[in-house]
Amino acid sequence: MFFSVCYFIIGIGFVSIVISYVLIIVKCKQKATVRIGLSNPEKEIRKFVQAPGPQPWPIIGNLDLLGRFKCNPFEGLGALTQQYGDIYSLTLGHSRCLVVNSLDLIREVLNKNGKFIGGRPDFIRYHKLFGGDRNNSLALCDWSHLQQKRRNLARRHCSPRESSPYFNKMSQIGCNEINHLMRELNKAQPGKPYDIKKLVLGASANMFCEYMCSIRFDYSDKEFRRIVRYFDEIFWEINQGYSLDFLPWMLPFYKKHTQKIMKWSTTIRKFILDRVIHQREQMLDLDEPENDFTDALLRSLKEDLDVSRNTIIFMLEDFIGGHSAVGNLVMLALAYIAKNPTIGRRIQHEADIVSNKGSRLINLHDMEAMPYTMATIFEVLRYSSSPIVPHVAMEDTAIAGFGVTKGTIIFINNYMLNMSEKYWNSPDHFEPKRFLDETNKKNTWKTVKCNDHRRSSEASDSGIEFEKEMDVHPITIDKFSSTKNYKKYKKISTEMCGYQLKKNIPHFLPFSIGKRTCIGQNLVRGFGFVLLANIVQSYNVTSADISEINIKQASVALPANCFPLVLWPRT
């Protein structure tokens, strides 16, 4: 009897493997049926074979290939180009996937075929994070009429232009929060390792909350600190890959993990409802001018029958959660500054010029006058090479002459772009100057002197050459008193630094391109700049032990508990 049961189980297992393999092979051989000629009412129907790729195994497909590159799967995807070219197919579990690695192919996917591949992967984790339906999320939903409506509703507030009143509001809120942050940082003991990430994330969260909800929270508020932590955990979670994503039958083995991420998201949602939406609903006056993003959402709930209460709750959660990207971006920049003190000194040089040696806070209007600081932010984005969220084909289409069947997951390997010697000199070195063009004025960075004689780490893995240090004559610039004078001052200070930020770098796509480009990128750049510039202007950032600064490749996310830094107040 015992052996009969064993044989029966083995038989079922064998049959399952055979069926699994047959299904995988069928998907590999399936052709894409595409209608050619958009303007032709009698469109020609053509069939395209799929791109070549490695032979998949039963059940797991090609997951074993990515398993060899656990630290950086995108490096593994790039390695396969040597055998299969810049476009190839993979099978991960039972999911058919397409990988594109070159700039031309990425543009073809995101721009030319954007309307055909507007979906997102149907991962179980995504559903768990957003109330059981990933379509509640702006970033992780499939493209739809509702998605377009949500983006249109958010665009005015979440993509503020420099000339708009929203940009000025961002600047004021950023500086106001910097005052609170500096008071907290001043409590840190100079020269002692300090967990600065919690404060940076708290400040970033308050910038987003005050900008979008006209509410800020005290850093000592336990509920606020908890949701900031949970947002950070979720940001790290979304940037990870799990076997569960492609092998959903493994869900029982991930039960505790999925329960944990559900707890994070439900706690955040309750906080937003109790501490933001309920209060603002009571104050809403449709006859008064729209004050912020929360006003816009609550008004749309009253005026648009297609907008549900769940829609506005998840939208607000999504956009407030953007602060985690800003906080992690700033932490990465500070880490590279700790590794390479010259970067910090150059930012300080710019900051001292525009702020008259710290006589005022640095605001958003200073971005143009601080090109090296902005270049540092861009270099963090390039060097970290945060992955573009995978797309999914919503109907059969063709890319580079190969068929892409409905449901195919498309990986955009921007890591290959960011680390390619074809586009960047010494791409494996951290060098902000690659984003700058020289002007006709003399570059003053080479004469920047570090006046802080405290010992700091000279270890460097960035590729930046430490310039010979010489004295500099201080430059005095009066505080601006009008917009006209301020624009004139910006021009003067930009000319003084000797560099300007490069524009329109076609192979640099940190926020993706096409109709699913990151709608909050101006918030990320703006608040990230205000945080980084003011922290570095006020402190020399070092590390007690550089070996503790471990940064994962191909990710702008850091673990919630990452590394401490050492702050020395500048005198």
Residues at the binding site for heme are: 518
Residue 331 and residue 422: Cα distance in Å, rounded?
A: 29
Could you tell me the two tokens for 359? 């006589």
Where does residue 62 rank: exposed (0-12), middle (13-18), buried (19+ CB within 10 A)?
Answer: buried
**CB count, 10 Å around CB of 454?**
11
Task: Output the CA angle 428-326-310, nearest 5 degrees.
Answer: 130
DSSP three-state, residue 232: helix
Known binding site: residues? 518
Residue 30 and residue 19: Cα distance in Å, rounded?
A: 16
Contact, 72 vs 79, CB < 8 A?
Answer: no
Residue 115 and residue 514: Cα distance in Å, rounded?
A: 9
Residue 423 and residue 101: Cα distance in Å, rounded?
A: 13
What phi and psi values does residue 47 have, to the nearest 5 degrees? -110, 135
Q: How far apart are the first and last CA of the chain?
A: 84
Could you tell me the two tokens for 435? 């984003």
Q: Which of 533, 514, 220, 510 is nearest to 369 (CA)?
A: 533
Report which secondary-structure segment, H or E, holds 171: helix 165-185
Strands 565-569 and 95-100: unpaired
Q: Which of 382, 366, 376, 368 is nearest to 334 (CA)?
A: 376
Q: Which residue type sits at 21? A: Y
Could you tell me the two tokens for 316? 């607000």
Contact, 314 vs 307, CB < 8 A?
Answer: no
Strands 95-100 and 409-412: parallel
DSSP label of 189: P
Contact, 375 vs 501, CB < 8 A?
Answer: yes
Per residue, the 3-state secondary structure of 419-473, as one string, reads CCCCCCCCCCCCCHHHHEEECCCCCCHHHCCCCCCCCCCCCCCCCCCCCCCCCCC
